[in-house]
């Protein structure tokens, strides 16, 4: 296959959708930064365009390389990724309290974004190597360990959002690889349990690290979840106050077992206070409208006031008047700006376009010549899907606020190039797809 | 390989993955739909609330002009410092991460932001640097914040230029504080016609929903014509950003200017009368055009400066005004007084109009120095040498002969007098519009006694006692005769004593009717109200000349009466009213009503001395009524005042320019009040003993007397203060 043949066999739909979103992103960033006077915001749209060019170069380069070669390099890529992540912790640049940047010759990059792609390649290679043992538990253990290495390093920066993306990527890749369902149930149940804890312990019991709060939250949660108590407790939960559920409603036996009052109040802090606040304001944005609830409230107002048709390009009041904080409007909260300017029409078109691109990846996965390509596509699907769902979801109160960008649209050169690199590899998978 | 392995059938799983993506897209689009389409309006409201500040633009109050267009009450621009309290508090709260100092407000359950503290922290430094004086209390500030958050609070009034430039430099960084020019009421001639025009003040009780004007008419025409004078407010939406800076304004509606009120008052005549009346401590004067009923001037002394009420009166000054027993806030021209001999004109009118009285100007009635009527002797006033004997109406008017009028009163009967009084409007409010609504507050009806009146009065008194007995079983109804009307009452009423109470305005209406040949006209204070609409002037309301009644007297009889009145000034009791101009002959009637009032706790002789007059004799154009409290007699106290007024009007008509000047309030005093003479008989029945010699002035006229606590006036005044304070605190 020569170069021309390869180019003719490209998956053009995904390319057009991707490029379209990339170019649209340039205009959205321009709108989001229109009222800014900070130098780094003023140059942002043009930089994004520059990164898009670089991204296209990387995209086509990788598309024209056989992905199997990339897969063969996987151990090196994974190893290099771990090294760079360690390097960031040692010699990175700190921005906004997170040491996640490498500055080199005037260019700043975020290795954490590239590490996702590297991890996908690494995991694809590993699962491909041990395809026959996929039903065995040790494979999963190894996968988890290989995941925890980059996750740990990224958490150390700290960048909770990027680290969290590794979980769904791994989950989807394992699922596509054909891991036993029962193993996959564990993270699902775990996630539900976390939601349960977040609601009862962090939100309702106002957990601030003490064991007593934990136990009280657990007790209330159990009281509410046990079917017999359901309706009695429901009323209390529906009451607008966030005060803990009254003791009278709780089972005295449970109290005795937990011996709530005797518990020592020693603080065990896993999450930072601002992260706890984010979780709480997710459940109730009006809890602290001027503090931690400010962003989600303003985002909702921006999106909601856009209405069906939107206010028109460059006419988003929430953005112009600075109620949507300027330093996040052009990256993590770009969807609020878009939805305000373009309304439900524009917002749903964007969601549909993102969904279409992801479905393209699923198609690429299903047409892959062999398992390695399918896993690469599944991993990319997982990554783009997580970014898309969480980013859009947080602006419209479907998920709690997490600082991860919207693929191809949010400002952020590293992530843009990383995503385009990933899609480039998938183009290669598509070029070498199986023939019916 | 992938396809062939049924265990590793990735296709099924990928299809499931694709389905999950579709579901996720569905969830997001549904959530977006819910927020943007279903709840869009709600969020749009939130956006509007946080990006805009509605501001009410106050309309400029309409002017009050005299009949020639001279501005009496107008607006001037005042540069004020305003603070939009909601913005200030919002900005403060955001800069402190939502932590606001709270304070309790009496009467409110919830705690409120401590606005005074916030203001102090935000702008206290600048204000002390610029030496702004603080004219408001913390409570006012809090109330304003609670009740009218959309209206800016006025921190400082009337900045001068240097203060303004310094202020503008320093407050650029504090959102919500800005300077603004606003129209402020100003009364061009100070105390001139202060009782008529009244004054404006701040609105004290406000409801949250309605527009609250910056000032509202509190007294006088400012109060009764408030609906015309207040323009319609305008609205403006200010756009602000997340830290409260005002970015721009979308003016939605400009305020309209209020209506212009044209008075019947002639400012020049008002000025002449004001200056003349300053010679007495307490009194009133009315100048009227007898042909139209237009009030050309109306003065009450003492007076006040309505400018001191703008924008709000110093409580100390208010207390002083209310406690002042000379009552500077009362419009004496509309207050009833014992009429004295001026009432004889009415008796003459009644007798001439009553055919049953069998009385003509030529009828001679024997009038000795005392007559025996209704079982007692009724004396004439002492030393009435020239007015006794067999006399006609002419002489009786000229010398104000009491004995003539006792007899004439009985001859025509009280019913006839009551009828005539009713025609003229004694015992009624006259400054009213077609629907009987008062044109100005504070007018009192006075009273015209008669048999029916006495019946009602006694019945009412007994009912009051009965009602009191019901409330308080210990109360004993006094054992007393029910007073009934008798000839004695008629005789006493005939010389304007006893129960008769007439306002100077009513007196002017009566003399006007005599002067113009028999038409009783309603007095007219306001001629028209106009309003500018665009460049056109629209007539809002017109007050036409209104005829009330006709006297119903033969012209020759009326002529004879006028001759009698002319003789009063020519040769009789009112000689001092003459100005010696042949083209401006004055006719009039003097009057001195015996009256006693409690002053400084003791009963003092406090006569009401009248002079009611018109001029010129042939074609009367002016009616002047003077009433002075504490005067010596109508002839010696009031007639010279009328003379001075006529002289002023005459020279004005000759072309002498009248210099309009700013008037300070006239101070009240008790000049002319004397201690009681030894009581000989019933003081109310001693007649118009006008020429009694007066001792030297008991009281220093230059210092107004503040009554002691036990005096009736003082308790009245302090109760009013209490009411005032209650109203303010409510």
**B360 and B220 both lie in a single domain:** no
Omega of the bond leading into B75 within 30 degrees of 0 (cis): no
Mean pLDDT of A287-308: 84
**B150 and B179 both lie in a single domain:** yes
Contact A308 B15 (CB under 8 A): no
Contact A396 B31 (CB under 8 A): yes
Q: What is the predicted pLDDT for the residue at B410?
A: 93
Can you give the residue range of the structural domain that contains B464? 455-484
**B527 and B641 both lie in a single domain:** yes
**B233 and B277 both lie in a single domain:** no
Using CB atoms and an 8 Å cut-off, which of residues 432-461 of chain B contact chain A? Answer: none
Taking CA–CA distances from B9, the nearest residue in chain A reads: A178
Provide the pLDDT confidence category of residue A197 given band limits of 50, 70 and 90.
Answer: confident
Q: What is the predicted pLDDT for the residue at A260?
A: 52
Sign of CA pseudo-dihedral B44, B47, B51, B54: positive
Mean pLDDT of A301-305: 93
**B338 and B400 both lie in a single domain:** yes
Examine residue B27 and state whether it is found in any structural domain, yes or no: no
Examine residue B490 and state whether it is found in any structural domain, yes or no: yes
Q: What is the ipTM of this complex?
A: 0.89
Q: What is the predicted pLDDT for the residue at A228?
A: 54
User: Of B551, B666, B687, B561, whose CA–CA distance to B276 is shortest?
Assistant: B666
**B466 and B585 both lie in a single domain:** no
Omega of the bond leading into B540 within 30 degrees of 0 (cis): no
**B406 and B474 both lie in a single domain:** no
Q: Is A105 helix (H, G, I), strand (E, B) or coil?
A: coil
pLDDT tens, position by position, A384-420: 999 999 999 999 989 888 889 999 999 999 999 999 9
Contact residues, chain B, for A323 at CB < 8 Å: 50-51, 241-242
**B480 and B492 both lie in a single domain:** no
Q: Which of A286, A304, A311, A354 to mutate to test the interface with B (most CBs of B within 10 A)?
A: A304
Number of independent structural domains in chain B = 3
Q: Which of B1, B3, B12, B24 to mutate to test the interface with A (most CBs of A within 10 A)?
A: B24
**B397 and B513 both lie in a single domain:** yes
Examine residue B556 and state whether it is found in any structural domain, yes or no: yes
Q: What is the predicted pLDDT for the residue at A273?
A: 76
Q: What is the predicted pLDDT for the residue at B610?
A: 94
Pick the residue with more confidence: A222 or A351? A351
How far, in whole angstroms, is CA B108 from its chain's centroid? 35
- pTM: predicted TM-score of the whole model, two decimal places: 0.64
| CATH code, domain carrying B429 | 3.40.710.10
User: A131 at the B interface (CB within 8 A)?
Assistant: yes
Rounded distance, CA B507 to CA A337, Å? Answer: 79
Q: What is the predicted pLDDT for the residue at A264?
A: 54
Examine residue B320 and state whether it is found in any structural domain, yes or no: no
Examine residue B20 and state whether it is found in any structural domain, yes or no: no
User: A354 at the B interface (CB within 8 A)?
Assistant: yes
Q: What is the predicted pLDDT for the residue at A389?
A: 96
Using CB atoms and an 8 Å cut-off, which of residues 194-253 of chain B contact chain A? Answer: 239-243, 247
In 3-state terms chain A splits into helix, strand, coil percentages (rounded to 5) of 70, 5, 25
How open is the CA angle B665-B667-B668, to the nearest 5 degrees? 135
Q: Is A99 helix (H, G, I), strand (E, B) or coil?
A: strand
Examine residue B324 and state whether it is found in any structural domain, yes or no: no
User: B2 at the A interface (CB within 8 A)?
Assistant: yes
Rounded distance, CA B610 to CA B504, Å? Answer: 9
**B334 and B466 both lie in a single domain:** no
Q: How would you classify the pairing of strands B64-65 and B260-263?
A: parallel
Helix (H) / strand (E) element for A47: namely: helix A44-64
User: B95 at the A interface (CB within 8 A)?
Assistant: no
Please give the mean pLDDT across all residues of chain A: 85
**B496 and B616 both lie in a single domain:** yes
Rounded distance, CA B139 to CA B136, Å? Answer: 8
**B420 and B478 both lie in a single domain:** no
Provide the pLDDT confidence category of residue A266 given band limits of 50, 70 and 90.
Answer: low
Omega of the bond leading into A53 within 30 degrees of 0 (cis): no
Taking CA–CA distances from A378, the nearest residue in chain B reads: B14
Examine residue B669 and state whether it is found in any structural domain, yes or no: yes
| CATH code, domain carrying B145 | 3.90.1310.10
Contact residues, chain A, for B15 at CB < 8 Å: 366
Examine residue B728 and state whether it is found in any structural domain, yes or no: no
Q: What is the predicted pLDDT for the residue at B430?
A: 93
Mean pLDDT of A37-55: 90
Q: Phi and psi for A323 in degrees, rounded to 5?
A: -70, -35
- Other residues' Cβ atoms within 10 Å of the Cβ of residue B412: 26
Q: What is the predicted pLDDT for the residue at B11?
A: 83
Q: Which residues of chain B have pLDDT under 50?
A: 1-7, 678-730
Taking the CA of residue B51 and the nearest CA in chain A, the distance in Å comes to 7
Taking the CA of residue B19 and the nearest CA in chain A, the distance in Å comes to 9
């Amino acid at each position: 296959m020569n170069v021309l043949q390869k180019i003719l066999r490209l998956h053009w739909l995904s390319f057009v959708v991707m490029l379209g979103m990339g170019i649209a992103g340039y205009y959205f960033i321009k709108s989001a930064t229109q009222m800014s006077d900070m130098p780094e915001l003023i140059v942002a749209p043009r930089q994004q365009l520059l990164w898009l060019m670089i991204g296209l170069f990387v995209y086509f380069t990788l598309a024209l390389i056989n992905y199997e070669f990339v897969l063969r390099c996987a151990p090196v890529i994974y190893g290099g990724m771990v090294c760079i992540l360690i390097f960031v912790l040692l010699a990175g640049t700190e921005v906004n309290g997170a040491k996640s940047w490498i500055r080199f010759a005037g260019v700043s990059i975020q290795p954490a974004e590239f590490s996702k792609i590297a991890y996908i390649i690494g995991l694809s290679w590993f699962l491909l190597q041990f395809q026959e043992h996929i039903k065995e538990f040790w494979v999963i253990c190894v996968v988890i360990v290989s995941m925890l290495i980059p996750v740990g390093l990224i958490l150390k920066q700290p960048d909770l959002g990027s680290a969290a993306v590794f979980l769904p990527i791994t989950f989807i890749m394992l699922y596509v690889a054909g891991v036993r369902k029962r193993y996959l149930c564990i993270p699902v149940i775990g996630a539900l349990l976390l939601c349960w804890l977040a609601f009862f312990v962090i939100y309702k019991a106002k957990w601030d690290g003490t064991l007593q709060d934990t136990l009280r939250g657990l007790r209330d949660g159990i009281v509410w979840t046990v079917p017999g108590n359901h309706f009695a407790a429901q009323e209390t939960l529906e009451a607008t106050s966030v005060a803990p559920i009254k003791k009278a409603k709780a089972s005295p036996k449970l109290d005795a077992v937990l011996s709530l009052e005797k518990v020592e109040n020693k603080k065990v802090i896993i999450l930072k206070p601002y992260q706890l606040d984010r979780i709480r304001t997710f459940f109730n944005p009006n809890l602290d409208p001027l503090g931690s609830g400010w962003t989600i409230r303003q985002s909702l107002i921006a999106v909601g006031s856009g209405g069906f048709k939107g206010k028109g390009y460059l006419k988003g009041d929430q953005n112009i008047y600075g109620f949507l904080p300027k330093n996040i409007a052009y990256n993590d909260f770009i969807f609020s700006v878009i939805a305000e300017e373009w309304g439900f029409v524009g917002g749903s078109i964007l969601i549909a376009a993102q969904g279409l691109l992801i479905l393209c990846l699923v198609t690429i996965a299903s047409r892959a010549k062999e398992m390695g390509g399918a896993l690469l596509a599944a991993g990319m699907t997982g990554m783009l899907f997580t970014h898309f769902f969480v980013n859009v979801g947080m602006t419209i109160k479907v998920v709690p606020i997490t600082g991860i960008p919207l693929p191809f649209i949010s400002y952020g050169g590293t992530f843009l190039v990383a995503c385009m690199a990933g899609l480039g590899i998938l183009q290669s998978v598509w070029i070498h797809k199986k023939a019916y | 390989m992938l396809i062939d392995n049924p265990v590793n059938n990735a296709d099924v799983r990928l299809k499931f993955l694709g389905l999950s993506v579709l579901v996720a897209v569905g969830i997001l689009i549904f959530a977006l739909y819910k927020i943007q389409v279903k709840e869009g309006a709600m969020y749009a409201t939130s956006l509007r609330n946080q990006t805009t500040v509605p501001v009410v633009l106050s309309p400029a109050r309409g002017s009050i002009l005299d009949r020639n267009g001279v501005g009496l009450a107008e607006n001037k621009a005042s540069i004020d410092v305003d603070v939009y309290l909601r913005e200030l508090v919002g900005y403060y709260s955001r800069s402190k991460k939502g932590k606001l100092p709270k304070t309790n407000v009496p009467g409110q359950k919830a705690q409120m932001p401590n606005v005074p503290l916030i203001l102090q922290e935000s702008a206290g430094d600048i204000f002390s640097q610029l030496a702004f004086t603080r004219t408001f209390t913390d409570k006012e500030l809090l109330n304003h914040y609670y009740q009218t958050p959309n209206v800016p609070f006025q921190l400082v009034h009337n900045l001068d230029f240097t203060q303004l430039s310094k202020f503008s430099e320093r407050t650029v960084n504090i959102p919500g504080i800005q300077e603004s020019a606003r129209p402020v009421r100003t009364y061009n001639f100070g105390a001139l016609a202060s009782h008529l025009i009244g004054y404006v003040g701040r609105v004290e009780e406000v409801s949250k929903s309605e527009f609250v004007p910056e000032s509202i008419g509190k007294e006088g025409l400012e109060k009764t014509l408030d609906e015309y004078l207040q323009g319609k407010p305008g609205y403006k939406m200010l756009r602000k950003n997340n830290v409260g800076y005002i970015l721009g304004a979308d003016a939605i509606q400009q305020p309209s200017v209020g209506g212009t009120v044209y008075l019947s008052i002639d400012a020049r005549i008002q000025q002449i009368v004001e200056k003349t009346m300053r010679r007495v401590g307490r009194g009133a004067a009315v100048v009227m055009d007898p042909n139209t009923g237009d009030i050309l001037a109306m003065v009450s002394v003492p007076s006040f400066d309505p400018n001191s009420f703008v924008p709000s009166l110093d409580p100390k000054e208010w207390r002083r005004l209310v406690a002042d027993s000379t009552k500077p806030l009362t419009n004496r021209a509309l207050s009833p007084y014992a009429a004295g001999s001026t009432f004889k004109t009415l008796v003459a009118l009644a007798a001439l109009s009553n055919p049953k009285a069998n009385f003509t100007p030529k009828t001679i009635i024997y009038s000795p120095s005392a007559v025996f009527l209704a079982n007692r002797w009724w004396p004439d006033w002492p030393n009435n040498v020239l007015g006794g004997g067999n006399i006609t109406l002419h002489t009786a008017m000229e010398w104000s002969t009491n004995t003539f009028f006792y007899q004439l009163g009985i001859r025509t009967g009280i019913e006839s007098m009551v009828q005539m009084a009713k025609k003229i409007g004694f015992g009624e409010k006259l400054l009213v519009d077609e629907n009987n609504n008062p044109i100005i507050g504070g007018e009192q009806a006075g009273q015209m006694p008669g048999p029916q009146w006495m019946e009602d009065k006694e019945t009412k008194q007994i009912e009051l006692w009965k009602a009191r007995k019901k409330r308080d079983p210990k109360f004993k109804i006094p054992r007393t005769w029910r007073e009934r009307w008798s000839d004695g009452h008629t005789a006493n009423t005939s010389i304007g004593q006893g129960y008769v109470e007439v306002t100077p305005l009513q007196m002017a209406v009566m003399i006007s009717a005599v002067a113009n040949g028999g038409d009783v006209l309603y007095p007219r204070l306001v001629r028209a109200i106009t309003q500018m609409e665009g460049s056109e002037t629209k007539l809002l309301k017109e007050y036409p000349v209104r005829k009330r009644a006709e006297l119903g007297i033969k012209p020759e009889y009326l002529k004879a009466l006028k001759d009698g009145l002319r003789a009063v000034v020519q040769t009789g009791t009112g000689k001092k009213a003459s100005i010696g101009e042949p083209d401006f002959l004055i006719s009039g009637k003097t009057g001195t009503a015996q009256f006693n009032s409690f002053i400084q706790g003791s009963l003092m002789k406090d006569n009401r001395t009248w002079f009611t007059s018109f001029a010129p004799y042939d074609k009367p154009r002016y009616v002047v009524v003077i009433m002075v409290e504490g005067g010596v007699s109508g002839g010696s106290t009031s007639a010279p005042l009328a003379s001075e007024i006529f002289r002023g009007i005459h020279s004005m008509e000759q072309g002498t320019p009248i210099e309009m000047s700013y008037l300070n309030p006239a101070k009240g005093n008790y000049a002319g009040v004397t201690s009681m003479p030894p009581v000989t008989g019933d003081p109310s029945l001693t007649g118009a003993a006008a020429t009694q010699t007066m001792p030297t002035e008991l009281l220093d006229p230059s210092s107004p007397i503040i009554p002691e606590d036990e005096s009736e006036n003082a308790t009245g005044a302090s109760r009013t203060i209490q009411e005032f304070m209650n109203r303010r605190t409510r």
